[in-house]
Chains A and B, each alone.
Chain A
Amino acid sequence: MGRIGSQLLKGTTPLLVLSVLRDGELYGYEIAQRIRERSGGAFAPSEGSLYPALHALEAEGALSATWREGDKGPRRRYYRMTSAGGALLAEHEAQWNSFALGVTRTVGGEAGR
């Protein structure tokens, strides 16, 4: 699979972050690793844009963060999705599905139908 455009990744970073946090709390590096794993190695958001996205979601109230000792070792800043984050995730998923369907139909043309 070819390299995914950075602008496309940048716009979907909040959706990717909220998706991996649906199952539980993770810290920053774990979030990046989880996204890479779930995408099958197809892409991974730039770590330089991951942390701004995490902090922006926290500022909006979609995530809450606490410092605590991890299961595997030293303390890390763990992020957890809030109820507001759940609603935001549902909204982003709906937008993405609509967008993806539209793009697929447009790109596919006669052959894509």
Chain B
Amino acid sequence: MTLLLAFLACIVLAAWLNARLQRSMDRAAPPANTAGLDPEAQEFLRALDSNLDLPATDRAELRAELADHLVDSVASLEAEGQPEERAMREALARLGNPAELARQMNAAHRSARRTLAGAAGGVFEVMVGAVQGYLVGLLLYLLVSLGSGLLLNSAFRGAADSAARFLPAISLGSSDTSLAVTAGLFCVAGLAGARRGVQTAHRLSRRSIFAIGRWVGICGALVLACLLMFVISAPQSWLAVPIELLIPIAFALGALFAMRPLPLAHVRVPARLVAVAAIVLIVAVAATGSYGSAGSVANSYSYDDGQQGATLNRIAPAWSGDVGLEGRWGAIGGSVVDETWQIQDPKVLSGLRDIRFELWRAVPVAGAPDWVQAWLPAPGYSAPFATKPADVSSGIFTANFDVGHVKTTRWLLLLTAVAPDGIRYRVDWRSECPTSFSGTIWDWMTATN
């Protein structure tokens, strides 16, 4: 509790300091008094302004100050007897080259104090912008979801019924959808945070917004990419990972959008390439994550297990008939499958050989009620992804698999054996409840399917 209060106090203090600093920078500069200046002087001020790399407020102040100086200088020279045109040339000559003057002014406005203020203020504003972006994205998502639901049901259902039907779906959507939405919200947060941070750092530090935007965009994107790939452990899925990989890109784009005017001529082609690459990545990952076509129909092998006969089903991607309704509630950690079986009469297996446990990828049975945990082997896979030999001498044998580095979240555990006809059959099976893959993106990418 103490830590929480201290954290909140720090946030409030930082916000107050930042607001105070922002107010001191947001002073309004008087307009430059250029009405009394001849075209040569106005050209000087324009050339100066074009070379200044400072916030707009500072540039306006400097133009106004030098315009006033030129007015005073010309008036003084005219009082000494010089003609107006010569006085103006003399006054401009005393100021020197506008590009050199702008260079000196750029350097003069930068100090260690302002650089530190820019860095601190920029970091703070990145966090503020990220929170704002996240909340705005969440609000938009809720509105779009509700709106699409209302639109689909506007003909025959009242607004209240539509909201009641779709609001639970919004909050209790599938895990894959939730992960993807969360990743998408972080993309919006990154974009908003980067933009706000770069603009604030530029205003406080007086350094070039292009230099700041470039460094923040590149370094920020690299740091985020490294954190997401190797450090941050979170639930992952085929849909969420590509969107998470867009978070560093969104951050870099936010830094780019902070620059005004946008260097459109330089970023149009790279931006299009990034967009195309992102679309190809998402489609490719989605395609490789999908399952293939269904397999062949099973045939059977009968044997006598002392229990009024039994039928062993051949191992096949798609089974008909007996799919079983037995399951175990609750995840078992997602990394280890630990199963123990006891055979009533081990002698029934004497005619069978090469008895082993197998883990097969599974999909839920279509149309089964929600309270039923019914699974089928996933179509498109003709082999298990893990096997372990079973020692049946004692009649009690266990299966222990480490599936922590596997993307699949649903599996069937089978006990199989090779019959005298040389074909492997299913002896028995267990289904496990789905678990989620939790790890870094690198863990996900290097895990087996």
Binds A, one of B12-20, B65-73, B352-360, B390-398: B65-73
- A60 near B111 with CB under 8 A, answer yes
Pick the residue among A49, A61, A74 that contacts B104 (CB under 8 A).
Answer: A49
Instruction: Assess whether A51 is in contact with B105, with CB atoms less than 8 Å apart.
Output: yes
> Chain A residues with Cβ under 8 A from B64's Cβ?
77
Contact B109 A59 (CB under 8 A): yes
Cβ B101 vs Cβ A59 within 8 A? no
- How many Å lie between the Cα of A67 and that of B65 in the bound state? 9
- Interface contact A28-B69, CB-CB below 8 Å: yes
A46 to B108, Cβ gap below 8 A?
Answer: no
Chain B residues 7 to 45 lying within 8 A of chain A, measured CB to CB, are 29-30, 33
Interface size for A (C-beta < 8 A) is 21
With A61-B113, A67-B30 in contact, is A48–B94 under 8 Å at CB? yes
Q: Which residues of B contact A37 (CB under 8 A)?
A: none
Q: State in angstroms the CA–CA spacing of A55 and B102 once bound together.
A: 12
The proximity string for A residues 38-53 relative to B, scoring 1 for CB distances below 8 Å and 0 otherwise, is 0000000011110111
* Residues of chain A lying within 8 A (CB to CB) of residue B114: 59
Q: Which residues of A contact B96 (CB under 8 A)?
A: 46-49
**Chain A residues positioned under 8 Å from B78 (CB to CB):** none
B108–A77 CB distance below 8 A: no
**Residue-wise interface mask of B (92-112) relative to A, using a CB-CB cutoff of 8 A (1 in contact, 0 not):** 001111001100110111110
Q: Which residues of B are found within 8 Å of A76, using beta-carbon distances? A: 68
B49 at the interface (CB under 8 A from A): no
Interface: A96 (CB within 8 A):
no
Which B82-132 residues have C-beta < 8 A from chain A? 94-97, 100-101, 104-105, 107-111, 113-114
A59 touching B113, Cβ below 8 Å: yes
- Write out, one digit per residue, whether chain A residues 16-55 have a CB within 8 A of any chain B CB (1) or not (0): 0000000000011100010000000000001111011101
State whether B113 touches A47 (Cβ < 8 A).
no
Q: Which residues of the partner chain A approach B110 to less than 8 Å between Cβ atoms?
A: 59
Q: Check B101–A48 contact: CB distance below 8 A.
A: yes
Listed residue (A46, A56, A61) with the most chain B CB atoms within 10 angstroms of its CB: A56
Evaluate contact between B108 and A53: CB separation under 8 angstroms.
yes
A105 interfacial contact with B, CB 8 Å? no
Contact, CB under 8 Å: B66 / A51: yes
B68 interface neighbour in A49, A52, A59, A74, Cβ under 8 Å: A74
Please state if A29 and B104 are interface contacts (CB–CB under 8 Å).
no
Picked from A27, A47, A55, A75, the residue with its CB within 8 Å of the CB of B108 is A55
Q: How far is the CB of B44 from chain A (nearest CB, A)?
A: 11
Docked CA distance A74–B75 (Å): 13
B65 close to A77 (CB less than 8 A): yes
A77 is contacted by which of B68, B97, B105 (Cβ under 8 Å)? B68
Q: Is the CB of A51 within 8 A of B113?
A: no
CB pair A47 B73 closer than 8 Å: yes
Among candidates B30, B72, B73, B101, residue contacting A51 with C-beta atoms closer than 8 Å: B101
- The answer to whether A52 touches B107 (Cβ under 8 A) is yes
User: In the complex, A29 Cα to B73 Cα: how many Å?
Assistant: 7
B95 touches A29 (CB 8 A): no
Q: Once the chains bind, are A75 and B30 in contact (CB under 8 Å)?
A: yes
Is B101's CB under 8 angstroms from A52's CB? yes
Bound CA–CA A40/B194 (angstroms): 55
Separation of A49 and B95 alpha carbons in the complex (Å): 8
CA distance A17 to B336 in the complex (A): 77
Nearest-neighbor residue (CB-CB) of B100 within chain A: A48
In the complex, what residues of A have CB within 8 A of residue B61's CB? 77
B77 to chain A, nearest CB (A): 12
> Are B94 and A52 interface neighbours, CB within 8 A?
no
A61 — which chain B residues lie within 8 A by C-beta?
113
Q: Closest residue of chain A to B58, judged by CB?
A: A55
Residues of A within 8 A of B66 (CB): 51
Q: How far is the CB of B144 from chain A (nearest CB, A)?
A: 48
CA distance A56 to B105 in the complex (A): 8
Proximity string of chain A (67-80) to chain B, C-beta cutoff 8 Å, 1 when within and 0 when not: 10000001111000
**C-alpha gap A52/B101 in the complex (Å):** 8
- A55-B110 Cα distance, complex, nearest whole Å: 9
CB contact under 8 A between A51 and B33, given known A29-B73, A59-B110, A59-B113: no
Complexed CA–CA distance, A29 and B110 (Å): 23
Q: Are B69 and A55 in contact (CB under 8 A)?
A: no
B91 closest partner in A (C-beta): A47
Question: Taking the nearest CB of chain A, how far is it from the CB of B149, in angstroms?
Answer: 56
Among B72, B76, B95, B113, point to the contact of A48 (Cβ < 8 A). Answer: B95
Q: Give the 4 A-B CB pairs with smallest separation, nearest first.
A: A48-B96, A52-B104, A56-B108, A29-B72
* Chain A to chain B contacts (Cβ below 8 Å), 16 pairs: A28-B68, A29-B76, A47-B69, A47-B73, A48-B97, A51-B66, A51-B69, A51-B105, A55-B109, A56-B108, A59-B108, A59-B114, A76-B68, A77-B61, A77-B65, A77-B68
Chain A residues in contact with chain B, CB under 8 A?
A: 27-29, 33, 46-49, 51-53, 55-56, 59-61, 67, 74-77
Interface contacts beyond A29-B69, A47-B95: sample of 14 additional A-B pairs, CB < 8 Å, sorted by A: A28-B65, A29-B68, A29-B72, A29-B73, A33-B76, A47-B69, A49-B96, A55-B62, A59-B108, A59-B110, A59-B114, A60-B113, A75-B68, A77-B64
